[in-house]
Structure 1
Amino acid sequence: MAPATQEVVVLGANFAGLGLTHILERRIFPVLKRLDSAVTFHVTVVTPNSHFFFKVAAPRAISKSGAIADDSLFRPISEGLKQYGDSVSLIQGKAVKLTPETRKVTVETNIGERQDVAYDYLFISTGTTSASPLWTLHDNHEKTVKAIHEINDILPKIKSVLIAGAGPVGVETAGEIAHNYPEVKITIVSAGEVLNGLKPGTSTKAKQFLKGAKAEVLINKRVKDHSTTNGSTKVELDDGSSRTVDLFIDSRGASKINNDFLPGSWLDATGRVTTRDAYFRVKGDGQADVSGVYVVGDIVSGSTNTAIELDAQVLCATSSFSVDVARKLGHDTSKSPGLLSYIPLIGSWFKSNVPRQAEFKPMKDTILVPFGPTGGVGQIFGWGAPSFMVKKAKAEKFLIELVEPAITGNKYAKIT
């Protein structure tokens, strides 16, 4: 029998951590309490940022002042968690040490104090940090707000921009600048192909959009260094050449994996956390107890770092948690509810309330990359997405309509 109050700690609170907390409170805990009405749960969310950042829409936000209002792009995390009352605590700070032997996380708060937080179950969702605060939070969301406003102010005054990185963010940023400032000369530098890793047809279409915008595309080259003097930036490439531009935008993805507090033996060669199964349970090193420890988001070994994959990770990991708790409560989670459960009208009478392990089922080979508000490129399950579909699905509003349900948790139906 599990103890009456289970302490659940969630490290990180942007897309992954906030989503985890909402699913636990709205869907998982109610089901588990049906198994044992005496068991209760308390969640402690540890994160340095006070605000949620809808980074998906950052390329549009930077392209033009007022394109997306600050209070649409950034929302207080406390606003979404207050509905859960005392069952959720929020600590503004960072995990600086994990001690699995005693099942404690040492947290350094934003005001410099240290405290140990005990856990029965732990979700690691600390993600990664980009070199530029334009794309990920650098602890305080005000740094990202400032960086966005600075680009807003600079873009109308420049004649040239170099974008390092030709992944989705780099291509989307080029498209937004081309739409709002067609007179600006755009150079985009890619270490591999444009939209490397996607289907060749998707990459080819993206290059056609860039060509239409008269952008200079440099593939198989890397930015080696850059320095700014008197308002101009000299960008040095690894082939010995250089470009001098009015603005340099670094969109090369993660520059740091937020793993400083984790045992090195838990990490793969890239610094990401390895899992022991397909359900996001942490593998560990065979020494310390890692039962009830899960990992989601960009910090997962093998993650493709996409929002579509993240949603599937969160659903799977919270399912793993529910199964593990149910087993501790003495329930068999392996049995099928049987064929009778699928008979219309009467099937629900035969369904078991015991949680079952959900599979990890992301929408594979699916991504939409706008090039301005009128269209773009993409693929759905590997099939090319026409430009008009990209326009309707993402390019028009950049999915800003998803912020509200992400904050409130309304994207997850509540079980009562």
Structure 2
Amino acid sequence: MAKNIVIIGGSHAGVSTAQRLLKSASTPTAIKVTLITPNSHMYWNLASPRGLIPGNYEKDELFLEIKSGFKQYSSDRFELVLGTAVGLDEASQTVTVRCAEKEKSVAYDMLVLASGSRTLDSSPFKNIGTTEETRSALKDLQARVEAAKSITVAGAGVTGVEVAGELGSAFGKEKKIILLAPGPRVLEDMLEVNSDIATKELQRLGVEVQLRSRVKESVIGSNGQYEIILSSGTTVTTDLYIPTFGLAPNSSYVPAKFLTSQGFVKVDEFLQVTGAKNIWAIGDVSDLEQSQWIKAEYQSAHLAKNLIKILQNQAPQAYKKATTPIMGLSVGKDISTGHYGNWRIPTFVARYLRKTLFLEKLTGIVTGTAF
């Protein structure tokens, strides 16, 4: 009888792992992969900062249907369950899924938690829930961007700088755009030279960069404008406020004993959930590494190989975290910057690598041709 490998999560980590397992022809035991996800389409959120600009990606390029990508597999090899995981029972090896108006139980032999994370304010820089909900949120944000005369972006990490850069590229000459950085420079987790390049380009694009400006709270006034109160006591008034800081793991269905105090799933060096049998976790929901596309890619590739080894009655290999940090970002459409360890990636190289925001990878991941 086929082993049922259940994967929770229809974003990069989950979809990639599903395709990697199904494309492996070396399993002595037949496997079936069941993918549980509320979103019918995989969302390429890496390009979401550019996607919030009205007129970009008008052909719905940021979304690709998952079902169509797995059409080459028969129903005894792959099943897509559209719904949200709401419970996990380790003893009975079942996952409870809320599908539309009812709940169903899905049994597993092996379980992979790849349910990702969400933004604290439910902005469409991550999946929000169903594909329709994410699409709607993105369109709503586009409309508000177009209508606003002043826009303030808070948080000067990669997402915040990319959002401010895209806004500056599109509207720097006609709208007032402010980027609030809580520290002494933007991109504090990157090299100082990366911060300098990004700051200069943002300013060239017409973005006002305010350093040491940490948001304490924000309220909407009677006139519909946002009042952003900074820790310094200063107030910034703006038509549209876009916070880009703070992620929360999608782990509410996981028993508390498997979670950190912040809600991330605890895993060991084999990506197996600490204290659990036949359960693994990868990507943003795991406590192993920072939220980053490349980290999820490494973990997915490693786990797929390990699960095959286990099915072959071989010992799994420990996952080795990358010790050299790598990061890149786009600042508008003309400039990109990044670093590998302490080496700054030349601007022209970063720009070449990031000119499409890797959108061309979406089809290969969903259809499996990338593996």
> Given the alignment of the two structures, is residue 392 of structure 1 paired with residue 352 of structure 2, yes or no?
yes
Of 274, 284, 295, the match for 1:283: 274
> Given the alignment of the two structures, is residue 409 of structure 1 paired with residue 368 of structure 2, yes or no?
yes
Q: Could you tell me how far apart the structure 1 residues matched to 2:180 and 2:331 are?
A: 17
> Given the alignment of the two structures, is residue 126 of structure 1 paired with residue 115 of structure 2, yes or no?
yes
Contact in 1 for aligned 2:180/2:209 (Cα 8 Å): yes
CA-based RMSD: 2.0
Contact in 2 for aligned 1:189/1:221 (Cα 8 Å): yes
Change over 3 Å in CA distance of 1:323–1:259 after alignment to 2: same
Match of 2:71 in 1: 82
1:35-65 C-alpha deviation (Å, 9 max, x unpaired) = xxxx211111111111110000111111232
> Given the alignment of the two structures, is residue 17 of structure 1 paired with residue 49 of structure 2, yes or no?
no
Q: Could you tell me how far apart the structure 2 residues matched to 1:360 and 1:409 are?
A: 25
Match of 1:319 in 2: 305
1:106-160 C-alpha deviation (Å, 9 max, x unpaired) = 1111x12112211110000111111233211111222222232233334344332
Tell me how far 1:71 sits from its aligned partner: 2.5
Contact in 2 for aligned 1:297/1:313 (Cα 8 Å): yes
Contact in 2 for aligned 1:374/1:388 (Cα 8 Å): no
Contact in 2 for aligned 1:163/1:249 (Cα 8 Å): yes
Tell me how far 1:219 sits from its aligned partner: 3.4
Tell me how far 1:397 sits from its aligned partner: 1.9
Q: Could you tell me how far apart the structure 1 residues matched to 2:204 and 2:16 are?
A: 39
Change over 3 Å in CA distance of 1:5–1:357 after alignment to 2: same
Match of 1:294 in 2: 280
Q: Could you tell me how far apart the structure 2 residues matched to 1:253 and 1:386 are?
A: 29
Of 239, 253, 256, the match for 1:261: 253
Q: Could you tell me how far apart the structure 1 residues matched to 2:258 and 2:232 are?
A: 37
Change over 3 Å in CA distance of 1:15–1:98 after alignment to 2: same
Contact in 2 for aligned 1:292/1:321 (Cα 8 Å): no
Worse overlay, 16-25 or 182-191: 182-191
Q: Could you tell me how far apart the structure 2 residues matched to 1:119 and 1:23 are?
A: 18
Of 324, 328, 342, the match for 1:364: 324
3-state SS, counterpart of residue 15 of structure 2 = helix
Contact in 1 for aligned 2:38/2:131 (Cα 8 Å): no
What TM-score, normalized by structure 1, do the two folds share? 0.83
Match of 1:6 in 2: 3
Could you list the structure 1 runs, at least 4 aligned residues long, displaced by more than 4 angstroms after superposition. none
3-state SS, counterpart of residue 204 of structure 1 = helix
Contact in 2 for aligned 1:308/1:363 (Cα 8 Å): no
Contact in 1 for aligned 2:337/2:351 (Cα 8 Å): no
Q: Could you tell me how far apart the structure 1 residues matched to 2:115 and 2:278 are?
A: 17
Tell me how far 1:301 sits from its aligned partner: 0.7
> Equivalences for 1:342-353 in 2 at 5 Å?
none
What TM-score, normalized by structure 2, do the two folds share? 0.92
Aligned length: 366
> Given the alignment of the two structures, is residue 237 of structure 1 paired with residue 230 of structure 2, yes or no?
yes
Equivalent AA in structure 2 for residue 93 of structure 1: G
Tell me how far 1:214 sits from its aligned partner: 4.0
Of 146, 149, 160, the match for 2:136: 146
3-state SS, counterpart of residue 97 of structure 1 = strand
Tell me how far 1:259 sits from its aligned partner: 1.2
> Given the alignment of the two structures, is residue 374 of structure 1 paired with residue 334 of structure 2, yes or no?
yes
> Given the alignment of the two structures, is residue 94 of structure 1 paired with residue 77 of structure 2, yes or no?
no
Q: Percent identity?
A: 27
Consecutive unaligned residues of structure 1, counting only runs of 5 or more, are 34-38, 285-289, 334-355
Contact in 2 for aligned 1:312/1:362 (Cα 8 Å): no
Tell me how far 1:409 sits from its aligned partner: 1.1
Larger radius of gyration: 1
Change over 3 Å in CA distance of 1:45–1:247 after alignment to 2: same
Of 167, 171, 181, the match for 1:190: 181
3-state SS, counterpart of residue 170 of structure 1 = helix
Contact in 2 for aligned 1:160/1:247 (Cα 8 Å): yes
Q: Could you tell me how far apart the structure 2 residues matched to 1:360 and 1:83 are?
A: 33
Tell me how far 1:379 sits from its aligned partner: 1.0
Q: Could you tell me how far apart the structure 1 residues matched to 2:169 and 2:16 are?
A: 33
Match of 2:101 in 1: 112
Equivalent AA in structure 2 for residue 62 of structure 1: L
Contact in 2 for aligned 1:168/1:195 (Cα 8 Å): yes
Change over 3 Å in CA distance of 1:357–1:275 after alignment to 2: same
Equivalent AA in structure 1 for residue 176 of structure 2: K
Contact in 2 for aligned 1:161/1:249 (Cα 8 Å): yes
Contact in 2 for aligned 1:309/1:363 (Cα 8 Å): no
3-state SS, counterpart of residue 85 of structure 1 = coil
